[in-house]
Structure 1
Amino acid sequence: MNVDSVERGLVIDHIEAGRSMEIYKVLGLDKLDCCVAIIKNARSGKTGRKDIMKIEDRIDLDLDALGFIDPNITVNIIDGGKIVEKKRLKLPAAVTDIIHCTNPRCITSVEQELPHVFQLVDAERGLYRCKYCDQVFDRKKKV
């Protein structure tokens, strides 16, 4: 398979195999007017398989959302067909409105305009806790 290189834009690399469509949805890439290429199950020397996304435009990405979905992602900023900056992600200390609290007694169930804020409580296991009711969320589940 041959996918052209990006002249100016972004390449999101090292996505866990099968999670690129989740990222596409969370980042709202369907609303873009530029070309977006998704390569699923590409061969990887490190992990065996990975997904890659190529965006033919420089857009603002929610790096916290990307880091929450997969902290091993690398974002390459491309200009003139070359990588001009490389961003390595990590688990964010807190996420807002990326996941929603499932506790029916949580204030966010009643006060729907409140943001859903989760704070990292265990980086090793990837556990986040709701700011309002202490409901625990395992980030390894699908968003």
Structure 2
Amino acid sequence: MLEITSIKNGFVLDHIRAGVGVKIFKYLKLEDGESEVALIINANSMKNGRKDIIKIENATEIDFTVLALLSPGITINEIKNEVRVRKIKPSLPKQVKGIINCDNPRCITNDEKYLEHVFDLVNEDNGSYKCQYCDTIINLSEV
């Protein structure tokens, strides 16, 4: 049986959509840091069947907004002295700049590389964002 012990101080990123843990690991650049990290892929989940989990020892800050984009439903547990001191369920940001790219080949952001991709949240329930330049709708589940 696989056993991953608890952490003393840091963060536990839980309820990550199965298969997205590696993306979050790379986005947070956890391979470059000093922290000990456990990446658990395809763990059993009573709620969703399967999930990923990331445990980060001695981390002090995390960009919660991006985590909600990568895996809606994620929970972030802050741990101090082996006790959860805070549980965060980040919500989707109202606007996203420079993280999502527009997949419309006719969008000006694909021709004019200096323009930053900007999207506005149009439906929080399904994670839909609209490009400010061409009105293309992107669902986070498709990213």
Counterpart residue number, 2:124: 123
Counterpart residue number, 1:140: 141
Alpha-carbon displacement from aligned partner over 1:85-130 (angstroms, at most 9, x marks no partner):
1101222212222211123333322332332211111223321111
How has the CA–CA distance of structure 1 residues 114 and 61 changed in structure 2, closer, same or farther, with 3 Å as cutoff? farther
Task: Give the drift of 1:73.
Answer: 0.6
Greater alpha carbon shift after TM alignment, 71-80 vs 28-37: 28-37
> What CA distance in whole angstroms lies between the structure 1 residues aligned with 2:28 and 2:13?
12
> What CA distance in whole angstroms lies between the structure 2 residues aligned with 1:109 and 1:47?
36
Partner letter of residue 96 of structure 1? K
Structure 1, gaps ≥5 residues long: none
**Alignment check: 8 A CA contact 2:8 2:57 kept:** yes
Please give the secondary structure, in 1, of the residue aligned with 2:134.
coil
Partner letter of residue 132 of structure 1? Y
> What CA distance in whole angstroms lies between the structure 2 residues aligned with 1:113 and 1:78?
40
> What CA distance in whole angstroms lies between the structure 2 residues aligned with 1:104 and 1:132?
12
Structure 1 outlier segments of 4+, above 6 Å: none
Task: Give the drift of 1:9.
Answer: 0.6
Partner letter of residue 100 of structure 1? N
**Alignment check: 8 A CA contact 2:35 2:59 kept:** no
How many residues were matched structurally? 142
Task: State how 1:60-139 maps to structure 2 within 5 Å.
Answer: 60-139=61-140
Quote the sequence identity (%): 43
Counterpart residue number, 2:28: 27
> What CA distance in whole angstroms lies between the structure 1 residues aligned with 2:105 and 2:47?
41
Greater alpha carbon shift after TM alignment, 100-109 vs 64-73: 100-109
> What CA distance in whole angstroms lies between the structure 2 residues aligned with 1:28 and 1:114?
25
**Alignment check: 8 A CA contact 1:10 1:78 kept:** yes
Give the structure-1-normalised TM-score. 0.89
Structure 2, gaps ≥5 residues long: none
Give the structure-2-normalised TM-score. 0.89
